[in-house]
Structure 1
Amino acid sequence: MSRRDPEARRRAIIEAAGRLIAEVGVGGVTHRRVAAEAGVPLGATTYYFKDLDDLVEATLAQSAADCAEWLDAWQRDLDAGADVAASLAEATAEYLADRARHRTLNEMYAAAAHRPELRPAARVWSDGLVRVLAPRVGGRAAQAASAFIDGVLLQALINDRPLDSGILTEALTALLTALRDPPAGPPS
């Protein structure tokens, strides 16, 4: 990465900030820490981002874009599998294997609770999951599954061992079965 590739330098700063958000939380991110993590001069962080809030916002926007990519992969997995609950549980367990990624997602949620301008980016995950699931299980079940998975991700932050895919499958099966929209009947 050189000064002659400003987009690569900007990306490196955002990636470094993302790693730091996962490690120390949004409140622990400073220009000095980001510059050291990215291997750039301190002035580069203020050159590319007007202030720390701008840098955090850009980093969380990138995290939201990454969430959208994960949701695309989940949709492909669900399209390929016959059992929605098992496919969803397996995807959730795989997601939990990358602790830094889901810590960043939860940091995004926490930051958005205090900064309304971050809420659209924070909702990419939960709204996108509902959008992926609704055609398969109905709107109510999709909303409940999204809330359940958010809770599983939050719980995993404080437990050394997240729920395994077997328990996730059982819980999601029960939830999706109980809340699945009834099939449309003949018109009256």
Structure 2
Amino acid sequence: MITTRREIILDAALSLVAREGLAALTHRGTDAAAGLPPGSTSYYYRRKAELLEAMIDRLAERLQAESEELKSAFTTVLANQGREAAFAFVADELVVCADADRDLLIARLEIMLAASRDPALSGACERLAQAAMRPMLFFVDLLAGPAVGQGCAMACAALLDGLMLPYATGQGAAPTAAQVRAACSALLD
């Protein structure tokens, strides 16, 4: 897969926000994080607001891509091995994804917290919340049935965020797949 310069810049911006917070998002900081010459970020994004919006779009795009991969694999496991194996697979994969993409988790949480103080970010926050919840809605529909609906999917997504919060803040280890399975199972029951 070919990575464009814009993707390099935006991924570096996400890592910068995950490491140092949204206040650290600057053109120079992003150039340094990306290992690019000064002025590279400002060539593509003249204003910080443009960089922030593009970074949020990139985060939503990456979350969506992960979601599609997970959904495809989940559907295969469900069809070939059944509901219990599919449920275990989802729990395992959610923990693996959270650990592998800790920066995405932290950046998403950072943006969502910033949106609580900055009304201009509320639309971005909504897009990220929907991107994070989309796979949950899919899994809940297949595992518990569509009658359970969006409310349960929102609760599952919030539950997972809550389980990941100590890990994201450096206050604990990532939850285990068994913990995720137990919490989601209790919620779905």
How far does the alpha carbon of each residue in 1:133-185 deviate from its partner, in whole angstroms, 9 at most, with x for none?
342222143232122112122232133312111121111111111xxxxxxxx
Residue 157 of structure 2 is aligned to residue 161 of structure 1: no
- Find 2:129's aligned residue among 123, 134, 141: 123
Partner residue of 2:98 out of 79, 96, 99: 96
Stretches of structure 2 lacking an aligned partner (at least 5 in a row)? none
Change (3 A) 1:88 1:44: same
TM-score when normalising by structure 2 = 0.79
Q: Using the aligned pairs only, state the percent identity.
A: 23
1:68 is aligned to 2:71: no
- How does the TM-score come out when normalised to structure 1? 0.80
User: 1:1-188 counterparts in 2 under 5 A?
Assistant: 8-79=4-75, 80-81=77-78, 82-83=83-84, 84-98=86-100, 99-113=102-116, 114=118, 115-136=121-142, 137=144, 138-139=148-149, 140-158=151-169, 159-177=171-189
Q: Is the 8 A contact 2:164 2:175 kept in 1?
A: no
> Whose radius of gyration is greater, 1 or 2?
1
For structure 1, list consecutive stretches of 5 or more residues without a partner in the other structure.
1-6, 178-188
Q: Distance in 2 between matches of 1:171 and 1:39?
A: 41
CA contact (8 A) 2:31 2:41 kept: yes
My pick for the range that moved more, 151-160 or 50-59, is 151-160
